[in-house]
Amino acid sequence: GRSYSVSSAFDFNSSLFPLSSSGPGYTSLGTPGTPNFDSGAQSLERNKSLTYLNGLSLVVGLIIGSGIFSSPASVNSNAGSPGAALIVWIVSGMLAWTGAASYAELGGAIPLNGGAQVYLSKIFGQWAGFLFTWCTVVVLKPGSAAIIAIIFGEYLVRAVIGADAVDASPWINKGVALLGLIAVTALNCVSTKLGTRSADVFMFFKFAALLAITIAGIIVAITGAAYNKEALSTAWKTTNWFEGTSMSSSQWAVALYAGLWAYDGWDNTNFVVGEMKNPSRDLPKVIHTALPVVIVAYILANLSYFFVLPPETINTSNTVAVAFGSIVLGPIGSLLLALAVSGSCFGGLNATTFTAGRLVYSAGKEGYLPEIFGTVGFSDSSQRMRLPRRGQKARRFAGFIADEQGFFYTPIYAMALNAALTTIYIIIGDFTTLTTFYGVASYLFYFAPVVGLIVLRVKEPELERPYKCWLITPIIFCCVSLFLLSRAIFAKPFQALIVFAFIAVGFPLFWWRVGSRGRSGRKSEQGEGWWKFWKRWGRR
């Protein structure tokens, strides 16, 4: 059958190559690629170095973030009962799994970096890929960064200043969230290496926090009476697990969105398929290990919450892990967990800022955005950091933070745009609003490529598919996504409207920025000429 070759017009990451840090593999590992249509000579895809374990740690590291420490309130209060909440966690996990399995088939059939962007362009035409890029730049990336920043702020304020401050005014949290965003943006502007190094450090926190919760939960479950009995939830033993289960499908949808947030990021291995050594074997393997592992970890963490916390606390607290810590270990416990979780969120914020910078940068390079966003700050060599000649310590320090290109050889304008948009979302939104908002937007764009998978099976049955998922998988994913999207329109019409408005704005923008260059997904004669003209003269 036919197959899409890797050396196609879709050459991902090449324009980003100068930004890579010198550390082998990490940059390509942690950074979803984005499209670059002028196939450059230096392609990360030629450097096929990612193994099964790399893929696994990438996707697990991206999925586990803020959600498992903050979504339970939204899941529980909307599902109505602990039993229903667990069902929501299972269903949203399965949904993520079916989505990821569908993406694995797409990734095998179209083994290029870029994920949804490239599938949409290949299957529906470049306009679809453009809309995805547009919405990712204006809604998905800054929206998700804002959610993580807000959780970071809430946890840090709770740890350092105390619960009263959190409840007194949301602006204290938001202020800290903004500070976190500024810190992360500055870090990633100063040097790429600094950004990726801190990602490694903060990875530790999320595992520490999740592990601590699960182990504490197991101990409590076994010993039962080891802690303050009054404080322990008795719901586990006495009340009906399904008492109070919500009957409203809109509430279930909101609960599912909260759960899906915690599982979000399952598509991220698809961004680097082109760099995998053996994508057709390893991509499905990564998906079918990562998702079950995360689902089990989340169920265990939730059971721990139920064992330890009274339902009212779980229902209302955005910082359920702090409440958990304080019951299990007192003030020290809450402080430790709050620090661990804010560290985990800071790491997530860092990772997402890092990739957002690259995404905006290559959208600028593509001409999707004004050219300035596709440039690297202070690329004039005189501005680069000079490694100090004297002083062992200073030298080692410089080598630790500076990439070989030196300080500020980073997409600072792209970073600034992303930070500005994220700031807006932090100011106007709160956790629950933003997760629903993000859910609607992201599931629209997860839905489309999976529909595309079905289209591709019908239109191109001969296409080589090293991994073929059961047809029922994409069908289930599409049906549940459709339910979610339609419910969101009823549950949160205003947010849904905003999402659709953003997408609608993308159409004239596509016409303006790309024009006839790629309406059919190919470069037309006329479009090419127009594009060349525009490239040469239009932007001077």
**Binding interface with ligand ARG (CB under 6 A):** 62-63, 65-67, 144, 148, 261-262, 264-265, 348, 352
CA–CA separation, 119 vs 273, rounded Å? 12
Q: Do the Cβ atoms of 318 and 77 come closer than 8 Å?
A: no
- 442: tokens are 């992201």
Count Cβ neighbours within 10 Å for each residue of 126-156 and write b for 16 or more, e otherwise: bbbbbbbbbbbbbbbbbbbbbbbbbbbbbbb
Give the residue with the Cβ less far from ligand ARG, 35 or 265.
265
Provide the terminal-to-terminal Cα distance of the chain, rounded to the nearest Å. Answer: 46
d(CA 88, CA 78): 10
CB of 435 to ligand ARG, least distance (A): 9
CB closer to ligand ARG, 261 vs 346: 261
Closest contact distance (angstroms) between CB of 486 and ligand ARG is 23
Q: What is the closest distance, in whole angstroms, from the C-beta atom of residue 102 to ligand ARG in the complex?
A: 17
In contact, 154 and 319? CB cutoff 8 Å: yes
Cβ 302 to ligand ARG shortest distance, Å = 14
Nearest residue to ligand ARG by CB is 65
Phi, psi torsion values for 50, nearest 5 degrees? -80, 130
Instruction: CB nearer to ligand ARG: give 66 or 98.
Output: 66
Counting every residue written for the chain, the total comes to 540
Smallest distance from ligand ARG to CB 322, Å: 17
Closest to ligand ARG by CB, 105 or 264:
264
Least spacing, CB of residue 267 vs ligand ARG, in Å: 7
> Least distance (Å) from ligand ARG to the CB of residue 408?
25
- Phi and psi at 276, nearest 5°, equal -80, 145
At 50 the three-state DSSP class reads strand
Rounded to a whole number of angstroms, the minimum distance from the CB of residue 352 to ligand ARG is: 5
Beta bridge partners of 50: 276
- Is 410 within 8 Å of 192 (Cβ atoms)? yes
* 536 token code pair: 């040469």
Name the residue nearer to ligand ARG (CB basis): 359 or 402.
Answer: 359
The residue (of 150 and 220) whose beta carbon lies closer to ligand ARG is: 150
Q: Which C-beta is closer to ligand ARG: that of 405 or that of 432? A: 432
Alpha carbon distance 506, 222 (integer Å): 55
Query: Count of CB atoms within 10 A of residue 21's CB?
Result: 21
**How far apart are CB 172 and ligand ARG at their closest, in Å?**
22
CB of 149 to ligand ARG, least distance (A): 11
- What is the 3 state secondary structure string of 326-382? HHHHHHHHHHHHHHHHHHHHHHHHHHHHHHHHHHHHHHHHHCCCCHHHHCCCCCCHH
Q: Give the nearer residue to ligand ARG in terms of CB position, either 62 or 417.
A: 62
Write down the least CB distance from residue 456 to ligand ARG, Å: 24
Shortest distance, position 148 Cβ to ligand ARG, whole Å: 6
Amino acid letter, residue 512:
W
Element (H, E) at 207: helix 192-223
Please say which residue, 63 or 402, places its beta carbon nearer to ligand ARG: 63
Least Cα distance to 146 among 430, 526, 529 occurs for 430
| Whether the Cβ atoms of residue 13 and residue 30 lie closer than 8 Å to each other | no
User: What's the closest the beta carbon of residue 469 comes to ligand ARG, in angstroms?
Assistant: 21
- Is the Cα torsion angle 418, 424, 430, 434 positive or negative in sign? negative
70 vs 191, which CB is nearer to ligand ARG?
70
The CA distance from 496 to 489, in Å, is 6
Nearer to ligand ARG, 233 or 317 (CB): 317
Measuring CA to CA, which residue among 360, 369, 366, 354 is closest to residue 39? 366
> 241 by DSSP, 3-state: which?
coil
CA–chain centroid gap for 517, Å, is: 30
Shorter beta-carbon distance to ligand ARG: residue 187 or 262? 262
Comparison of 81 and 302: residue with beta carbon closer to ligand ARG = 302
